[in-house]
Structure 1
């Protein structure tokens, strides 16, 4: 049985989203997609201590620097978002912050557009990227520490006549997606299938982040938003009067991306993340953010799908 996602106070949710949407220029953010702060675990993360064995694995240049940079597109509550204080938070930032503390390092969260994450990592503008699908084409230059199951899901307005819509049933509907994410290809494929079957075309619209797409659903600009499953589920379950989840498929993992040349950083970070599992912090974060359905405690390397349809 699926565990309901934990609800947050309405005022807190509205404030959190207002900060998330501000950089993207979202209109009426308090009326749209919502996220909340993991208050039950913030104190636990702050109390995490340096682990000497893991710290010894940290590359010398990083140890001297005392920090590493994590690029994140904080637009997918509860995975990653900006809280009412303007801080990047969520399940993944808290988990990685705890791992950094075990490594004896600070982590600097750098807000980045989604489509700039992998190019920026390859260009060495930051050390790691957070919460990105582990896909075959991305593994050519990036190693992924897979830490959470994900997949795709489709959200519609509560007023939409359909209660269920599969990817094969999108003909004639308008669909929002995040530019550069896997759903962009899935929307294009759905459109081709409609063309082959003689159905009405799928009207795809690209957005900078999933919150903007969800707000467009609410305003009636588009019929549906197709995004990563945890964020779609979170919004639908916390806002049933506004949205409903029309389709969900759990099909692959989220990974923390590390440049393939940075094997020492990868191994030290993975060791710290796995210690978060052993210490129980990983499970507490899952509980706090309502993500127990998506647990992936083994933290495997590069075990995403063989093709890019996840």
Structure 2
């Protein structure tokens, strides 16, 4: 596993990161989540140095503070998760940690629920939010630095008779999804189509995070889990005896969200992330976390789908 970014529920300074972990959340999110991913990045972030030009871009108040707060819902391995030792880690925390070091800042990782990310950013309870789909309605008050391709995928129990499925063929199946995420609307749309066609409805069930939905599939409570593609693929590859990937579509990017009023912070963070691409840090993290298929090296701003139906 990569160098831990959080030591227990309270957290301590490690790799320039202070992790404020909610006690109840510091648990292993999925079977094998600690696995082997991240094992080759132990020293990678530690070696990242402050870049004077990028540090000069940081707003004065944040530079004086010496840190910025990043809210994260660490429930989607290998993107972001809490490992078996109670440590927040994953591709995104390590990438943002590296960017923070280039900015001359510590990164305070604040664990929160997924549906509290956007409201908390708007209320300025934290400075940025990590790993959230860049969608049109979210861009009204939030700017997104798009750093990784993503999409949606459906995981099913290996006991299901069908091996492949599409969103139009979910009639009669029970589907778990993360409350407030894009899949909630997709499940609702699928259910409407089934009802209109006179087919059995889709039994949608909301969960706090995708790991809870996946465990519900494993225990037989629901048939399928519909979530973000990188996490679904990861869980299927880690647990082929339990799950199979029945559908996948790459449809848009993950973004790091910044309040639209904080343009200086946004630009400094984006410059640091692009420097991570330039110096090879980004690629090394992609390789180690098995995410090379999802690379997005330009770090564009707000280039998610034009509407939320994508």
TM-score (norm 2): 0.90
SS in 1 for 2:301: coil
Q: How far is 1:34 from its partner?
A: 3.2
Contact 1:51-1:103 within 8 A present in 2 as well? yes
Change over 3 Å in CA distance of 1:253–1:161 after alignment to 2: same
Q: How far is 1:183 from its partner?
A: 0.2
What is the rounded CA distance, in whole Å, between the counterparts of 2:50 and 2:76 in structure 1? 29
Q: How far is 1:159 from its partner?
A: 1.3
Query: Runs of 5+ in structure 2 lacking a partner?
Result: 2-20
- Count of residues in correspondence between the two structures: 290
SS in 2 for 1:42: coil
SS in 2 for 1:70: strand
What is the rounded CA distance, in whole Å, between the counterparts of 1:160 and 1:238 in structure 2? 18
Does 2:221 correspond to 1:221? yes
* Aligned pairs (5 A) from 1:144-183: 144-183=144-183
Contact 2:30-2:211 within 8 A present in 1 as well? no
Partner of 1:34: 33
* Aligned pairs (5 A) from 1:74-223: 74-223=74-223
CA displacement 1:235-293 (0-9 Å, x = unmatched): 01111111000000000000000000000000000000000000001000000000000
Query: After TM superposition, which residue ranges in structure 1, 4 or more long, deviate above 4 angstroms?
Result: 29-33
Change over 3 Å in CA distance of 1:59–1:21 after alignment to 2: closer
SS in 2 for 1:154: strand
Contact 2:51-2:102 within 8 A present in 1 as well? yes
Does 2:301 correspond to 1:301? yes
Partner of 2:65: 65
Change over 3 Å in CA distance of 1:245–1:129 after alignment to 2: same
Change over 3 Å in CA distance of 1:265–1:21 after alignment to 2: closer
TM-score (norm 1): 0.90
What is the rounded CA distance, in whole Å, between the counterparts of 1:255 and 1:152 in structure 2? 15
TM-align CA RMSD: 1.8
Contact 2:22-2:111 within 8 A present in 1 as well? no
Q: How far is 1:126 from its partner?
A: 0.2
Query: Runs of 5+ in structure 1 lacking a partner?
Result: 1-7, 9-19
Q: How far is 1:32 from its partner?
A: 4.3
Change over 3 Å in CA distance of 1:75–1:21 after alignment to 2: farther
Change over 3 Å in CA distance of 1:157–1:24 after alignment to 2: farther
What is the rounded CA distance, in whole Å, between the counterparts of 2:218 and 2:129 in structure 1? 30
